[in-house]
A = this chain, B = another copy of it.
């Protein structure tokens, strides 16, 4: 049997086939979406393989190629769209044991794919007074490899944009899935060939990212009479060039009060809020700016509740907002959107009101301060969800559909020609995370459909 033959080629490499364990390692937070929950419920691999070194990764991929076994790489499984869920079964390649920091200085850190983000930061803060530019709200559990393969940005994106931007990933080591797997060190534009590709065209074993100055960020929650005022302040704060922030998230009443249990007593139920992280040297400027903007400071992590250990405020943001909501009300879900301006936020809010309690993230996008959205959806039916998506699109607001599990359908990613070409080279049998790259499955895929993509690839490079 294929799988037995594959297994016997693995020698001493750690393999697990306990079905409960394998099922657990075959899942991520896909169940935030009722659509994906229905579609992916039954998905499971047959084995979990846990290499301890790059040499073992090479050995696994050599065996997978020989025996045609599907390989789906996985970090901590903190994705939300089934990025690391094995649609064709086969083996999960669990990279979490490869968690060594390879190199670090005050400007950069290189780590193995399985290194946990918080641990990397702890190391570089202690050694160099430096920290990573941005990270997802799953910072305490997510791995750097998983972030680069399946994430897009997060806390810090108000300053540094996202993984899609040049200069935010400095280098990757990738192992190909060929008869004799190669270990490739990618730099410069080449990193875009495999970044945010869900591991479909190479297994990332090392990641190098730039660092920035580390600060003891102060978590602040500001109160506003309504969500539009909160958004207005959030955008204006994002444009304050002299106030150093790492996070700005407007969240509508009443969900801020309802969902943020640890901070609930600081937040009146009728208050919409802005959750922010501010550098210590900018807290006073924020206080002044808040005063002059009629914003009320409800909570400051350096002042309030010093006796207890409250979670960091970034765990109220990004998809942690959704998670906190699901704990309170398991029937909700969410969307991923982009609102070009406050007018559009207003229009959507007027159309949908409390059916779509707004949660936005103020980020930089190509040098501009924009509203990225992770609104809560009070879910009723899949049909209504589609209607809500259509209402966004009709009003000129992008939707990156988090209820789709392929790279392209979510719209976060345009599989550019370079990336598809790299899959032909690195995964000729098409056994790396099969089913996730539409362009691979469908040779007639239209690259130029006019659709807008978050990761649009390097267009000038395409043309060349």
Binding site for B on A (CB under 8 A): 106-108, 128-130, 133, 159-162, 165-168, 170, 187-189, 210-213, 215, 238-244, 279-282, 284-289, 292-293, 364-369, 458, 460-461
- A107 contact set on B, CB distance < 8 A: 215, 279-281
Interface of A is mostly: mixed
Q: Apart from A167-B284, A239-B368, A241-B365, what are 18 other A-B pairs with CB-CB below 8 Å?
A: A106-B213, A107-B280, A108-B281, A128-B129, A130-B213, A160-B241, A161-B241, A165-B241, A165-B242, A166-B243, A167-B242, A167-B243, A167-B244, A170-B284, A189-B288, A189-B292, A210-B279, A292-B460
**Contact A188/B367 with A282-B167, A293-B460 known, Cβ cut-off 8 Å:** no
How far does the alpha carbon of A187 sit from the alpha carbon of B279 in the complex, in Å? 17
In-complex Cβ contact of A242 among B128, B168, B284, B292 (8 A): B168
Residues B242 and A166 in contact, CB atoms below 8 Å apart: yes
Complex copy number for this chain: 2
Residue on B nearest A209 in the bound complex, by CB? B281
Task: Enumerate 25 A-B pairs (CB-CB under 8 Å) in ascending A order.
Answer: A107-B215, A107-B281, A130-B213, A133-B242, A160-B241, A161-B242, A162-B241, A165-B243, A166-B242, A167-B281, A168-B241, A170-B284, A170-B285, A187-B284, A188-B287, A188-B288, A210-B244, A210-B282, A212-B213, A241-B365, A241-B366, A292-B458, A292-B460, A293-B460, A367-B369
- A367 contact set on B, CB distance < 8 A: 238-241, 369
- A129 contact set on B, CB distance < 8 A: 106, 128-129
How far does the alpha carbon of A285 sit from the alpha carbon of B189 in the complex, in Å? 8
CB of A413 to closest CB in B, whole Å:
17
In-complex Cβ contact of A166 among B106, B189, B288 (8 A): B288
How far does the alpha carbon of A293 sit from the alpha carbon of B168 in the complex, in Å? 19
Residues B366 and A285 in contact, CB atoms below 8 Å apart: no
How far does the alpha carbon of A19 sit from the alpha carbon of B119 in the complex, in Å? 65
- A279 contact set on B, CB distance < 8 A: 107, 210
How far does the alpha carbon of A108 sit from the alpha carbon of B241 in the complex, in Å? 17
- A187 contact set on B, CB distance < 8 A: 284
Residue on B nearest A158 in the bound complex, by CB? B241
CB of A231 to closest CB in B, whole Å:
15
CB of A341 to closest CB in B, whole Å:
13
CB of A362 to closest CB in B, whole Å:
10
CB of A147 to closest CB in B, whole Å:
15
How far does the alpha carbon of A210 sit from the alpha carbon of B292 in the complex, in Å? 21
In-complex Cβ contact of A240 among B130, B165, B212 (8 A): B165
Q: Which of A165, A170, A211, A288 has the most CB of B within 10 A?
A: A288
How far does the alpha carbon of A367 sit from the alpha carbon of B160 in the complex, in Å? 13
- A170 contact set on B, CB distance < 8 A: 281, 284-285
